[in-house]
Amino acid sequence: MRALDKLSPEECQRLIVADNVRYFGSKAANVTEFVLQRWDLEEWSRGGPVAITPPNVLKENGHALRTPVDGIHFAGTETSEYWTGYMEGAIRSGVRVAKEILRAKI
């Protein structure tokens, strides 16, 4: 992110869209909305590596983080049922979402 600190939001968008086109093809250039969220500049999160919740919050409400919304699936260490906050949790959630998407396409 530090390399992007010197760029305007418009320049960041241009570079990010160009990368997406390179990885995913020309359809990725058709951006209808772009939001650049800098968590490291947010007053309350301060860019922390993982979310910190009180005891039992994720146990009781974590399903809400894992529920797809309008075809959008959510992955990340905070959405993992096991090893939340660790790389293992991020990998597990990525595998979970890949399976969800494959099931949805069948």
pLDDT of 100 over the 80 cut: yes
96: in domain: yes
Tokens encoding 3: 């390399």
CB atoms within 10 A of CB 21: 15
Q: Both tokens of residue 82?
A: 């096991």
Residue 64 falls within a domain, yes or no?
yes
Spatial CB neighbours of 50, under 8 Å, sequence gap ≥ 6? 77, 78, 84, 85
Q: Give yes or no: residues 61 and 101 share one domain.
A: yes
Count CB-CB contacts under 10 A for residue 105: 6
| Region 69-75 average pLDDT | 94
What pairs with residue 69 in β-bridges? 72
Is 47 part of a structural domain of the chain? no
The pLDDT of residue 4 is 79
Q: What is the mean pLDDT of the chain?
A: 89
Same domain? 36 vs 61: no
Query: Which tens digits make up the pLDDT trace of 17-58?
Result: 999 999 999 999 999 999 988 777 788 766 766 777 888 888
Sequence letter at residue 47: G
| List of residues 6+ apart from 90 with CB closer than 8 A | 75, 76, 77, 80
CA of 67: how far to CAs of 2, 12, 70, 91, 100, in Å?
32, 30, 10, 17, 10
pLDDT of residue 51: 72
In a domain, 51, yes or no: no
- The whole-number pLDDT of residue 46 equals 65
31 with 71, same domain: the answer is no
Q: Are residues 71 and 101 in the same domain?
A: yes
pLDDT of residue 1: 58
Instruction: Indicate whether 65 belongs to any domain.
Output: yes
Total number of domains in the chain = 2
Residue ranges making up the domain that contains 13: 2-41
Determine if residue 10 is labeled as part of a ligand binding site: no
Q: How confident is the model at residue 95 (pLDDT cuts 50, 70, 90)?
A: very high
Structure tokens at 54: 């009180």
Does 46 reside within a domain? no
- Model confidence over 51-62: pLDDT tens digits? 778 888 888 998
